[in-house]
Chains A and B, each alone.
Chain A
């Protein structure tokens, strides 16, 4: 029997969202029904994604569906998948299931929560599978609105501020992308919005020189590119657990994917040398590599100074996404492969960390202040959280045996041939990464500081099955990819090579 095409991930997610929105709101059984329906929807999407991924390992770009959509403008409803898209769809499926498992305790407006959640997921699937620039943009914007409501309605710390900031940053970014896309469409004159056709339409180099940074920054905003990252920490902290997991896990990847597929795919000559050097920077490529390295080091340093547990993870995301951008800018197979693998790896690990901090720990202690957590001896109270965080922390630091190691190692190797100075600075970032992870781990779980009050000495609720399942699933994936990276690499390497051969130089 043939597995259903990956396009069904999109329809399943949107269909699930529509059903959630239409569920009756008053009956008592609605929350449970709504949760199970959401979980089933996400599982179905995950199964389709996994089937699509594993049956197409190593194969090239497939056209999944192609209909003329708006003939007057040459716009097609074109869905395609190559190794990179398939991997990211798989990641989205995993993150979606995990996110729902960790939202089992949402009690307020449950069906609306899952409706927005699944709409966001559907938009993300759509972006990863779009083969038409216009369609990609449509899905990209569909993903913005649910994020706003997820944070503004179900969030915590300064939720309305964070939600609006995130929405406006995203929208400004997408406005930049839209300008670039319209300009590319008008300039190419080829009456098509297909990514492949536009990439082959020989856009003038002078045009690419300004379109590339415009679109790259537009997508880079969502990828947490320094200095446009400031939405990320506030957004991650304010968001409910599942939304933080999605933000860090897949939404930031939307940005990175756009940088790779659109900015670098359509405007490869935008990365050519300018012909002069300014402060040692001779091209947009140098500029963005520098921003990436600054992001790595800066994110790590700021994470080191945070007092809120979730902010530590939030800034660590900025740091880790720096690796993705740096890897993209190396423009060699190993660096790019590392960047793409880092998207996957960070998606899983950041999701795990946010789940532990936001759900497993916070919903029992009701605080995220590291100083308060110090007095709680959580390693004894919630050993499950402690050990899960130890393992996730090791993965996040980039220890061998976890997916993060393979990815960051490749990025660093790739960056050496590009510029040893970048590599050394990045190494510093990794060391600081170890430091902030240890610091958070030690303070939150293994402190021997005496307990301050009697009331927090009480027992915490036992670990529930959704937590076990979610943590177990994500840990298994990161270990599996760490021990046997070919699982993912076999898919992304051919795609990266094709991309390097076809567009990006």
Chain B
């Protein structure tokens, strides 16, 4: 490895970082005296351009990075998909900023978002525990800052502190788990670790279980799986809208792509398509842990969401529930008996997390607009939205029905695809029971999604409530996402194929 290789392999990440610095410098140098609106506009435009440039670079110059003998950063189909999704979702998050008034430092928040996105890129492509940890910390630290960005709001500060404390704790757990894994296998590279498990049978060791649980605590925190979810409702409620949208989308995409990557590593170590015994033993423990997290998240997330009166907290619990569904897919990938079945499961998880991220960004966009107009994110703030802004109400209708999994919207597709993949593993009654649980729980979820829609469509606005107006850019993004939710739902084949072969043109 030399510096040139490093530069080559991390070029997209570097472009994002440079874009972040350009945003800062541009604002400082040229826009210091300008009106708040134009400063925000300048920062957002530069940020979006940065995402575009990084995506362009990513598609034209990318190379794997090796250290002596093992891969540090390596792009495969799944990580290319996830990185593209990160570019797109980050740009959409930035486009939710116009019209918001939570901060007087527009350049700083845009730069932080870009830093977070570059952390996400590293997480997705990492093939080494240390690179992974650096990426995760870059992502997490930026998220804490974004959560605290509404300086005049006590809730924002409280949420950030909680998020930070939980995050720090989980990072510590994860490092602890990494240290055990290193101790058991003598390597930090994913591929070497798997190989070592196969050759030495050290996955039978009880220490491996300790390591697994510690790593699960760290990753479970990132995806907000029960019982590591306690930060989520507070962070979702307190964070400024774009920050919450970012946490719910880009951070989720990165974390699930990482889980998918771990499953990939396991599969690439397959010998002649046959699973070595050690692999199965290791996998059964891993799968047991994942399935436990999945079931607990589905049940707790959906049931707790029923009792919420704040729409942001409701979305937080729904995010926990959705994480539960996706973990089922991850478990299916780990259970798969051959590489093809595993790829299929991983692709359904990616489809799910990307479309979920898309939907949830727009959901937060709608909440942000309503919140800015009414000063509240409680259910009754949405009263009469169909009169106060019919377009926004229609967007909300589409998004929430999609989250509930009503066809022909994309949320249904994602669920169907995922559950079919889980059942396709065909191994006994456990996957089936969990799919049945997941479907039953998504029936429960319709109740709380409909409750929000009831306020938007059924309840009349309070006396004297005027129109709600959204910034045209925000409205455009929201409508575009709603259209995409319907479109991909009706014709999912395009996205499904693209995820399977990201080299294809998307449309």
Stretch at the interface among A170-178, A195-203, A295-303, A427-435: A170-178
Closest to A189 in B: B426
Contacts of B88 in A (CB 8 A): none
The answer to the question of A444 belonging to the interface, with a C-beta cut-off of 8 Å to chain B, is no
A94-114 interface with B by 8 A CB criterion: 112
Report how far A185 CA is from B423 CA in the complex, Å: 9
Tell me whether A145 and B439 are in contact in the complex, defined as CB-CB below 8 angstroms, given that A152-B458, A160-B454, A167-B450 are known contacts: no
B439 touches A175 (CB 8 A): yes
Contacts of B407 in A (CB 8 A): 137-138, 141-142
A113-156 interface with B by 8 A CB criterion: 134, 137-138, 141-142, 144-145, 148-149, 152-153
B493 touches A70 (CB 8 A): yes
The answer to the question of A388 belonging to the interface, with a C-beta cut-off of 8 Å to chain B, is no
Which listed residue, B423, B426, B446, touches A182 by the CB 8 Å rule?
Answer: B423
Q: What's the minimum C-beta distance from B423 to chain A, rounded to whole angstroms?
A: 4
B385-430 interface with A by 8 A CB criterion: 386, 390, 394, 401, 406-408, 412, 416-417, 419-420, 423-424, 426
Contacts of A168 in B (CB 8 A): 443, 446-447
B420 touches A179 (CB 8 A): no
Report how far A145 CA is from B406 CA in the complex, Å: 8
B443 touches A172 (CB 8 A): yes
Q: What's the minimum C-beta distance from B322 to chain A, rounded to whole angstroms?
A: 16
Tell me whether A171 and B423 are in contact in the complex, defined as CB-CB below 8 angstroms, given that A69-B493, A138-B408, A153-B457 are known contacts: no
A/B pair count, beta carbons within 8 Å: 73
The answer to the question of B492 belonging to the interface, with a C-beta cut-off of 8 Å to chain A, is yes
Number of interface residues of B (CB under 8 A): 33
B472-507 interface with A by 8 A CB criterion: 492-493, 496-497, 500
A73 touches B417 (CB 8 A): yes
Which listed residue, A142, A149, A182, touches B419 by the CB 8 Å rule?
Answer: A182
Contacts of B390 in A (CB 8 A): 25
Q: What's the minimum C-beta distance from B104 to chain A, rounded to whole angstroms?
A: 39
Q: Mark A444-464, 1 if CB is under 8 A from B, else 0.
A: 000000000000000000000
A454-482 interface with B by 8 A CB criterion: none
Q: What's the minimum C-beta distance from B451 to chain A, rounded to whole angstroms?
A: 8
A141 touches B446 (CB 8 A): no
A61-116 interface with B by 8 A CB criterion: 69-73, 112
Closest to A149 in B: B457
Q: What's the minimum C-beta distance from A215 to chain B, rounded to whole angstroms?
A: 13
Which DSSP category, helix, strand, loop or mixed, fits chain A's interface?
helix
B440 touches A175 (CB 8 A): yes
Tell me whether A171 and B443 are in contact in the complex, defined as CB-CB below 8 angstroms, given that A69-B493, A141-B406, A186-B426 are known contacts: yes
The answer to the question of B67 belonging to the interface, with a C-beta cut-off of 8 Å to chain A, is no
Q: What's the minimum C-beta distance from B391 to chain A, rounded to whole angstroms?
A: 11
Contacts of B454 in A (CB 8 A): 152, 160, 164
Closest to B415 in A: A178
Report how far A142 CA is from B406 CA in the complex, Å: 7
A148 touches B492 (CB 8 A): no
Q: What's the minimum C-beta distance from A200 to chain B, rounded to whole angstroms?
A: 21
Q: What's the minimum C-beta distance from A69 to chain B, rounded to whole angstroms?
A: 7
Which listed residue, A71, A73, A153, A167, touches B458 by the CB 8 Å rule?
Answer: A153
The answer to the question of A183 belonging to the interface, with a C-beta cut-off of 8 Å to chain B, is yes
A186 touches B457 (CB 8 A): no
Which listed residue, A164, A174, A185, touches B447 by the CB 8 Å rule?
Answer: A164
Contacts of B314 in A (CB 8 A): none
A167 touches B412 (CB 8 A): no
Contacts of A72 in B (CB 8 A): 493, 496-497, 500
Which of under 10, 10 to 19, 20 to 34, or 35 or more describes the interface residues of A? 20 to 34
Closest to B491 in A: A69
B492 touches A70 (CB 8 A): yes
Report how far A299 CA is from B171 CA in the complex, Å: 61
The answer to the question of B442 belonging to the interface, with a C-beta cut-off of 8 Å to chain A, is yes
B344-395 interface with A by 8 A CB criterion: 386, 390, 394
Contacts of A71 in B (CB 8 A): 493
Contacts of A70 in B (CB 8 A): 492-493, 496
Q: What's the minimum C-beta distance from A272 to chain B, rounded to whole angstroms?
A: 22
Report how far A137 CA is from B439 CA in the complex, Å: 14
B450 touches A175 (CB 8 A): no
Which listed residue, A21, A25, A164, touches B450 by the CB 8 Å rule?
Answer: A164
Contacts of B420 in A (CB 8 A): 73, 182, 185-186
Q: What's the minimum C-beta distance from A187 to chain B, rounded to whole angstroms?
A: 9
The answer to the question of B436 belonging to the interface, with a C-beta cut-off of 8 Å to chain A, is yes
Contacts of A171 in B (CB 8 A): 443, 446
Contacts of A112 in B (CB 8 A): 386
Contacts of B497 in A (CB 8 A): 72
B435 touches A182 (CB 8 A): yes
Contacts of A149 in B (CB 8 A): 457-458
Contacts of B426 in A (CB 8 A): 186
Report how far A186 CA is from B426 CA in the complex, Å: 8
Report how far A69 CA is from B494 CA in the complex, Å: 11
Q: What's the minimum C-beta distance from A310 to chain B, rounded to whole angstroms?
A: 21
Tell me whether A145 and B443 are in contact in the complex, defined as CB-CB below 8 angstroms, given that A179-B436, A182-B435 are known contacts: no
B458 touches A175 (CB 8 A): no
Closest to B436 in A: A179
Q: Mark A157-169, 1 if CB is under 8 A from B, else 0.
A: 0001000100110
Which listed residue, B394, B412, B496, touches A141 by the CB 8 Å rule?
Answer: B412
A144 touches B435 (CB 8 A): no
Report how far A160 CA is from B446 CA in the complex, Å: 15
Tell me whether A179 and B435 are in contact in the complex, defined as CB-CB below 8 angstroms, given that A145-B401, A168-B447 are known contacts: yes
A144 touches B406 (CB 8 A): yes
A20-38 interface with B by 8 A CB criterion: 21, 25
Report how far A137 CA is from B454 CA in the complex, Å: 24
A218-276 interface with B by 8 A CB criterion: none
24 contacts between A and B (CB under 8 A): A21-B394, A25-B390, A70-B496, A72-B496, A72-B497, A72-B500, A141-B412, A142-B408, A144-B406, A145-B401, A153-B458, A167-B446, A168-B443, A168-B447, A171-B443, A172-B443, A175-B440, A179-B435, A182-B416, A182-B419, A182-B423, A182-B435, A185-B420, A185-B423
Which residues of A approach B to under 8 Å, CB–CB? 21, 25, 69-73, 112, 134, 137-138, 141-142, 144-145, 148-149, 152-153, 160, 164, 167-168, 171-172, 174-175, 178-179, 182-183, 185-186
Besides A145-B406, A171-B443, A178-B416, 13 new A-B residue pairs in contact (Cβ under 8 A), listed by A number: A70-B493, A72-B497, A138-B407, A142-B408, A148-B450, A164-B447, A171-B446, A172-B440, A174-B443, A178-B439, A182-B435, A183-B423, A186-B424
Which residues of B approach A to under 8 Å, CB–CB? 386, 390, 394, 401, 406-408, 412, 416-417, 419-420, 423-424, 426, 432, 435-436, 439-440, 442-443, 446-447, 450, 454, 457-458, 492-493, 496-497, 500
